[in-house]
Structure formats: structure tokens, C-alpha cells
Amino acid sequence: MSSSNPLRDPADRRLPRIAGPSGLVIFGVTGDLSRKKLMPAVYDLANRGLLPPGFSLVGFARRDWEHEDFAQVVHNAVKEHSRTPFREEVWQQLIQGMRFVQGTFDDDDAFERLRGTIEELDKAQGTGGNFAFYLSVPPKSFPVVIQQLKKHGLADQSSGSWRRAVIEKPFGHDLRSAEELNAIVHEVFGSDQVFRIDHYLGKETVQNILALRFANTMFEPIWNRSYVDHVQITMAEDIGIGGRAGYYDGIGAARDVIQNHLLQLLALTAMEEPASFDADALAAEKTKVLGAVRLPRDAGVPFYLRTGKRLGRRVTEIAVVFQRAPHSPFDTTATEELGSNAIVIRVQPDEGVTVRFGSKVPGTSMEIRDVSMDFAYGESFTESSPEAYERLILDVLLGDANLFPRTEEVELSWKILDPIERYWDEHGTPAQYPAGTWGPVEADDMLERDGRSWRRP
Ligand SMILES: NC(=O)c1ccc[n+]([C@@H]2O[C@H](COP(=O)([O-])OP(=O)(O)OC[C@H]3O[C@@H](n4cnc5c(N)ncnc54)[C@H](OP(=O)(O)O)[C@@H]3O)[C@@H](O)[C@H]2O)c1
């Protein structure tokens, strides 16, 4: 363990950050997210040596399973979805700390069995009473699980150990419900015990926004309203809603991804330089931005956000588009094919950064056209990026809250979205669009009215 080695300086960020004695309880362990992301991420962390030797994983679900059945489910999920290669010795170590508790969320006996299981693991695995409870459950069940944790003493840290709650998205469906949920959560857990998941913040490319902006002298001086014309944030998917039609009908795309992922990207793109990267300083700057967002367009530099299914391509990117240079020394014909300069942060799938600028076309006349310079993670670094959930689960175990939105951020984001949802309720949502295109014509019209156009990534 890093903290027990006197030769290791915990402030040295080059050293691996290894979690201390601890365990993770996953509620909703049979669900899609747990199978595809959470259980594989736990294995990947173990495989990278970032979990303590006695790390324990407790699954809570209503299936009538024995421990062995649960271990088999985790095994299958890991084999199918983990990022790093399967190693039998890592698996054998991990399985020592695996337990299963059967029950529904309103079942008091099941929560007592969970308490007993945690006490048993403390003795058998040396988890020290330190447990994170991951609520990978339908959002309507967040309150009951939180209340059961309180009722059965599972949120209690009085013994010097820590207890943390990890809450999936969406956090509420409007400002009022988010406030109500925050009230329920904070009746049980202190603000430093609550980790709200926005998995976009666990992505390397999203954290790279901070590196790009604040570790380089060439970008930040022009990253302001004097030079930036507008910002486009796109989260496009080429797939449809698959079997999740019920979920989308109930929630809609804006609540699903704009309130959280896209507004977090907006905050990271627009915020001032924080005093440090600790959780308080980061949250303070993001909160200022979210509190300053105004609709529709009296907020200085416009930020255009778009998302949808069955669009032309799967791509998430932030394009910072610059004002055009005066071009005075050039004939108009020389620059007629020149677009605006742009810095494009490619969040997924081909992670990296593109800088677009004008260059002279080879030849005898002065003609300028757009060219681009690319940085690709895959080409510049040998190590592959960890999955977002690996980073976030490790941060929870370390108690590192930088990458988790705070109460105020969540509530301010709903404050931005609520009037839009109300408008759509009263006037209808944007028109439909043919699959494989870049969305409804109204989206193009909106930018055209401002004398701009969407990028075609
Ligand atoms: N799936 C994703 O890619 C994704 C992405 C982002 C966020 N999320 C969020 O993550 C959470 C989980 O999503 P999911 O897609 O994994 O959902 P899911 O596939 O529907 O799984 C829900 C889980 O909760 C359990 N559950 C439901 N009601 C229960 C009850 N009364 N008592 C005990 N267990 C109960 C289910 O158990 P049974 O198997 O017994 O029904 C299942 O394990 C949600 O908050 C969702 O919004 C999911």
C-alpha cells in the first residue's frame, strides 16, 4: 500500500494511486451497467495492482443465487468486457473477497444480512469497515436504498472507518426532484461521502481539457470572448435506442445527456483557471459557469449543444471556433475557401485534439484553404486509456472527489434545462429527422439565423 511505504511521497502523481483496505457493494449487480462496466472495471483495477489485497466485492440482487453463482456471473462479465487481459492469479485473489446478498430493496432482513456480510469481510479480508455503496439501480429506487442504508446503520462512520455512496445518473428529472433527492441523500450522508457519477468526467479526453487549457501557453491567451466566436458541443450516436425505448420515452435525450455530460463539458470549456485541481477549487469554478448560463443568447460567446441518436456518425467533440481574421492583405478569392480556425477536442471515439487553420495551397497564386493538425491519444502514448469507470471507482475508494459533480452543479444544470423542457412540453419537441442525417432542419436554421453553421464531424 502506498501510504505505508515511507519512501513514497503521496503527493508524487507519477506513482500509482493504490486504494487502501476497502470494499465495494454493488446494488443492481445483475443490471446492464454492472455487467458491462462496473464488474469489468473492478477486475481491471485489480489487474493493474490498484486495489488492496483484501479488496471485497459484494453483489446485492433479488436473484436466488449462491456465492458461486455470483462469482460465475462476475467471471463471465470480466471475460467478456474487461479492458485488460484475463489473469487467473488476479481472479483467484479477487474471488476471495466476493460475496452475494439476496434481497429486494425494501427487505429489512436482506439489509441485515448485508451488514453481517460486511462485518464478516472486515474480519476475513481486513477491509477495515471501509465500504462504498454503488447504487446502480433504477433512479426511482435511489431513495429507498439510501434510507435502508441509514436504517441498518450502514452509512455510519463513527468507528473511524469510511462509508460512501455512489449514485448513478440521472440525478433527478428536474430541479425540484433533484433538490428532493439531494435532501434525502444528505440526511444520511455528508457531502464528502457522496459521489455522483457523470462517467464523462472519468474520460481521459475530458480531463485533458484542463491540461490543454491550463498547461499550455499557446491556447489559454486566446480562449476568451475577444477571440472565440462560439463553441459547438456535439454528442452524436449512430445507433438507435435499441431495447431502451421505455427509458427514452420517459426521460428524453436532454435529460439523459445534456443535463449532465454536455453541461459538464460546457463548464470545463468555459471556466476560469482554478486555484488548484482539488475538488473544492474545481467545483467552485464550474459552479460559477453553470450559474452564469443564460438562455437563449445574452451570455456573450454562444455555446451550441446538440445530441441525438441515429445521426451521421458516433462522435463526441467540443469545437472552439474562432473569429475570422480580417484577411485584409488577401484578395477575396484567396480566402473564399477558408473557414474559421478551430480547436476541436475529440472526446470519442478517436480521442485527441485537432487544430484547424488556413494554409497556402501550393502553386503560383495565393490561395488559402483549411488544413488540420492532429494529436491522437493512440499514436502519442503507448499506454491505453483506462475506462472511465475504472478511474471513477478508484477515486471513490481513494476518497478523491474532483471528478464528481457537486450538489450545486447538479441543481444549476437542472435550472438551465427546466425552462427548455417546459418549452418543449408546451410547444412540442424538435421535429423528427431521417436516420443517418445530422438532425432536424430546425437545428441548421438556428445556427443559420446567427450566421453560423454546424460542423459535420
Ligand atoms: N446501462 C447503462 O449503460 C447506463 C449508463 C449510464 C447510467 N446508467 C444508470 O445506471 C443505473 C443502472 O442501470 P442499468 O442499465 O444497469 O439498469 P438495469 O439493467 O435495469 O438494472 C437494474 C438493476 O436493479 C435491480 N433492481 C431493480 N429493482 C430492484 C428491487 N426492487 N430490488 C432489488 N433489485 C432491484 C435489477 O435487478 P433484477 O435483475 O433482479 O431485475 C438490476 O440488477 C440506472 O440508474 C441508470 O440510469 C446506466
pLDDT single digits (tens) 38-79: 999 999 999 999 999 999 999 999 999 998 999 999 999 999
Contact between 100 and 58 under an 8 Å Cβ cutoff? The reply is yes
User: What's domain 14-168's superfamily in CATH?
Assistant: NAD(P)-binding Rossmann-like Domain (3.40.50.720)
Residue 27 alpha carbon to ligand 1 centre in Å: 8
* Residues labelled catalytic: 261
Q: Which atom of ligand 1 is nearest to the CA of 104?
A: 32
CATH number of 202-387+406-449: 3.30.360.10
Contact between 197 and 203 under an 8 Å Cβ cutoff? The reply is no
> Measured in Å, how far apart are the chain's first and last C-alpha atoms?
45
Dist CA 116 CA 58 (whole Å): 12
| Protein residue with least CA distance to atom 36, ligand 1 | 28
Residue 223 alpha carbon to ligand 1 centre in Å: 41
Residues contacting 14, CB < 8 A, separation 6+: none
Q: CA 371 → CA 23, 136, 347, 354, distances in Å?
A: 50, 44, 20, 10
Mean pLDDT, rounded, for 437-441: 93
Mean pLDDT, rounded, for 195-208: 96
Q: Indicate if the pLDDT at residue 11 is higher than 60.
A: no
Question: What are the domain boundaries of the chain?
Answer: 14-168, 202-387+406-449
Instruction: Work out the pLDDT band at 1, boundaries 50, 70, 90.
Output: very low
- Residues at CB less than 6 angstroms from ligand 1: 28-34, 61-63, 104-105, 136-139, 141, 168-169
Q: Indicate if the pLDDT at residue 105 is higher than 50.
A: yes
Residue 355 alpha carbon to ligand 1 centre in Å: 40
Residues forming beta bridges with residue 190, ordered by sequence position = none
Residue 42 alpha carbon to ligand 1 centre in Å: 18
Instruction: Work out the pLDDT band at 374, boundaries 50, 70, 90.
Output: very high
**What distance lies between CA 422 and its chain's CA centroid?**
26
pLDDT at position 325 is 87
Query: Which of 26, 33, 34 most suits a substitution to test ligand 1, by most atoms within 8 Å of the C-beta?
Result: 33
Question: Full-prediction pTM beyond 0.85?
Answer: yes
